[in-house]
Amino acid sequence: MYFTEEPEHIGMLRETLSRFVAAEMPKSLVREWDRAHTFPPELFRKLAALGVCGLTIDEAYGGQGRDLVAAVAVIEEVCRGGACLAGPFIHCAFYGGINISENGSEEQKRDLLPRLAQGELLFAYGLSEPEVGGDLANVATTAERSADGKSLRINGFKRWCTGADWADTIYCLVRSGPEQDRYKNLSFVMIPPTTPGVRVHPIEHSNLRYTLSSDVIFEDVEVPIENIVGGEAGWNRGWNMLAGKALDVEKIEISAVTFGIAQSAVEEAWEYAGQRKQFGKLIGAHQAVRHDLAEARTKLEACRLMLYRAAWLAQTDQPCSVETSMAKLFVADTAVEIGLVCQRVLGAYGLAEGHDMERHMRDLLGMPIVGGSSNMQKNNIANRLGLAMQDR
């Protein structure tokens, strides 16, 4: 399915989004939003009104019915205009919709999923810490139950908590059991950033500037016991949640962002090569440029196939941890190669703020790092395919 003709409903969705991007995301404004590290909330509400936030949520909870391939197409199409709207869409449909669908209690699903499907709630991830990146089993942020069992007290420090300054809740990984009980002592807790004791400190960064990323400090933060993701059954089951479907889908959505940006970079370089003249002819007529752009198009097509195959496997509930890691690794690293070629086609203009290519490259250079680094994906692939690490 992933390499044959695209389903009609996804083609219609692409046409709708293409018109939306053309009408609502002029390049000059996208550049302004990028410089300001922001996105217009009213524009996200217009996107949500198209019904796209329900593509990760079952109809029983107010969604469109889970369609991960269509949700990936949304990210791709929106990113062709700029990542500024793909960010909040992911915070809603993926960070919120996927995680609550997969891990929430029945009560949490009934309460949160209908609002997520309407685009009314935005989640931020609270995973990384100053001393914890990929090794999430070592998180130091703690959650302790109150004596009466009605609340939790959170203390700790999260880093790279993107969107914490405007999210409705932080989907936060905490240590909820004895420190020595690795993998059996983790839980997820929903913590509204407006809760007393939460302090948010923005971090300046160069890529995906639809918002600031942040340090978030929790000092004796109290939330109701009902905020444990999965309810009572979710206590100390955070590692199982990390190892489940949601993490595979996380690799897919960030790969979709990468692919959409790379596609936009190729389109800009292609158009420029058909307009710019040097030595008496269009630069697209020079063999070096033609070959570079032909290779970029070829690599882009390989990225598309890797991405949508992984999305199809996840959508059809097939094992896909290896394939999603391969897609994340290949798309992220290949997109950087594509972007650098496209930037060279534009020459000095590829470094100038008045052109989108400068933003594309800032965004693409971060993709082998965010959402699980390329080295982490290589380890995942080797481990899951059973490559021996020591003599037997």
pLDDT digits 0-9 by tens, 179-228: 889 899 999 999 999 999 999 999 988 889 898 889 999 999 999 999 99
Mention every residue, 6+ apart, whose C-beta is less than 8 A from residue 52: 13, 17, 71, 74, 89, 93
Mention every residue, 6+ apart, whose C-beta is less than 8 A from residue 173: 126, 127, 136, 139, 141, 186, 187, 188, 238, 242
Same fold, 125-241 and 244-384: no
Q: Name residue, tokens 């989640």.
A: 123
Q: What angle do CA 178, 182, 187 make, to 5 degrees?
A: 70
- pLDDT tens string 284-321: 999 999 999 999 999 999 999 999 999 999 999 999 99
| pLDDT attached to residue 139 | 95
Element (H, E) at 143: strand 142-145
Whole-number average pLDDT of the chain: 94
Q: Closest by alpha carbon to 365, among 343, 342, 341, 332?
A: 332
**3 confidence band (pLDDT: 50, 70, 90):** low
- Domain spanning 244-384, CATH architecture: Up-down Bundle (1.20)
DSSP bridge pairs for 190: 171
Q: 40 pLDDT exceeds 90? A: yes
- Domain spanning 8-121, CATH architecture: Orthogonal Bundle (1.10)
| pLDDT attached to residue 292 | 96
- pLDDT tens string 339-373: 999 999 999 999 988 889 999 999 999 999 998 99
| pLDDT attached to residue 64 | 95
Q: Name residue, tokens 């420190």.
A: 179
| pLDDT attached to residue 2 | 52
What are the distances in angstroms from CA 287 to CA 246, 265, 294?
Answer: 45, 20, 10
The CB density around residue 29, as the number of other CB atoms within 10 Å, is: 14
| pLDDT attached to residue 392 | 56
User: Which sequence spans correspond to the domains of the chain?
Assistant: 8-121, 125-241, 244-384
- pLDDT tens string 64-112: 999 999 999 999 999 988 889 999 999 999 999 999 999 999 999 999 9
125-241, superfamily in CATH?
Butyryl-CoA Dehydrogenase, subunit A, domain 2 (2.40.110.10)
- pLDDT tens string 225-246: 999 999 999 999 999 998 878 8
